[in-house]
Amino acid sequence: MSEFVSGRHFLQTPGPTNLPERVLRAMDRNAINHRGPEFGALGREVIEKLRHVFQTAGIIGIFPASGTGAWESALVNTLAPGDRILISRTGQFSHLWEQMARRLGLDVATLETDWRRGADAAAMQGVLDQDREHRIKAVCAVHSETSTSCMTDIPAVRAAIDRASHPALLFVDAISSLGCADYRHDEWGVDVTIAGTQKGLMVPPGLSFTAISEKALAAARGGGSARSYWDWAPLVTANQTGFFPYTPAINLLFALNEALTMLAEEGLPTVFARHARYAHATRLAAAAWGLELQCADPAAYAPGVTAIRTPDGHSADRLRDVILERFNMSLGNGLGRLDDRVFRIGHMGDLGVLTFTGTLTGVEMGLRAAGIPHREGGVQAAMNFLAGEGTAA
């Protein structure tokens, strides 16, 4: 039996995130008949609340799956084997999306980056300008790349597609941005937005979403790949009735409904400002410690996660291990080419100022305990900003 550790565990990974008590209590109940009127009302209510967060009037698909399932649904409903797509490699999750596309038989054109900034919209336009036969059927971008803490300017990507007069669909992974940053599915001209419950929406992993434009629905009706579980066709009816074409994750929907209510009560602009303040305070702490951010473009800083590089010759994983063992806090690890090179501080979802400053305190103590070269005063820099009610630049 493991030794008891006093105090709460600080789960400061960029997903799964800490769960609010209200969300825990909402799902701590018996299931209901998923074919009965009470569930139909719940389904319709959740879909309408999700539309507010996605800022769309369109169809919302809800799948009992991780975000990976939503990725696959976007690809198989709209594309057939051999179709070409364009992906910018901005981090590990865009890389995983690319790998999935290749396994599904798609022809993937990639734009490489140094994993220290968002996608280059101008470079995307250059590729689309050259695609005079319109072989590229979809452009894929990750809004907030969780592995690097870099954002992509989605309106700029949309503008690049439009300037090229290209008919490609626009797919956006908003898994670690939805509920953390302003996101406008309809206004930005996104065709499929992909998201999940376990980050800014403050719900356990297990539900994924697709917000779907009319153009994407038309593409699905006219073709796509063989699919069954991921098929969008039943979603149109489901959005009207609140019922699902399969057994839904009932208790997760209870949790999601409560979390969406909480976001509405706080107000989305306030939610976004809160995330921006914590992100800015984290960057102030990193600067005071003398540590380098993985994101090298200030215009691309993510609001929900900050990836920080350890000095050359020093293991980020060992730092994380020390922090977990000594101070009972979990941080995100480096992924892919950033393995053991960065540690990631999640500051998204249900997070108050005292929990947040406690997180930074754990990091600063861990830097000392692990022997990582740094300057002291990172926590103080963040607290000075927060105590002064500063707003993020």
**Beta-carbon-side half-sphere exposure of residue 350 (alpha carbons within 13 Å):** 21
Question: How many beta carbons lie within 10 A of that of residue 51, not counting itself?
Answer: 18
Length of the chain: 393
Q: What three-state secondary structure class fits 375?
A: coil
Tens of pLDDT, residues 16-72: 999 999 999 999 999 999 999 999 999 999 999 999 999 999 999 999 999 999 999
Residue 1 — pLDDT band, cuts 50, 70, 90? very low
Instruction: In whole angstroms, give the CA distance from residue 243 to residue 359.
Output: 41
Calculate mean pLDDT across residues 257-285.
98
pTM for the full predicted model: 0.96
Report the share of the chain in percent with pLDDT over 90. 97
Q: What confidence score (pLDDT) does residue 159 get?
A: 98
Helices then strands, each counted (H, E), the chain: 13, 14
pLDDT beyond 70 at 391: no
CB distance 252 to 204 below 8 Å: yes
CB distance 374 to 291 below 8 Å: yes
Q: What three-state secondary structure class fits 140?
A: strand
pLDDT beyond 90 at 256: yes
Which helix (H) or strand (E) segment holds residue 24: the answer is: helix 21-27
Q: Return the ∠ at Cα 258 (arms to 254 and 259), rounded to 5°.
A: 115
Q: Which two tokens stand for residue 132?
A: 């005079």
Identify the weakest region by mean pLDDT among 3-7, 37-41, 108-112, 154-158: 3-7
Chain centroid to Cα 180, Å, comes to 9
pLDDT beyond 80 at 392: no
Tens of pLDDT, residues 310-322: 999 999 999 999 9
Residue keyed to tokens 């072989």:
135
Domains and CATH numbers, the chain: 10-17+267-387 (3.90.1150.10), 21-264 (3.40.640.10)
pLDDT beyond 70 at 118: yes
Helices (H), 172-267: 214-222, 233-241, 250-266
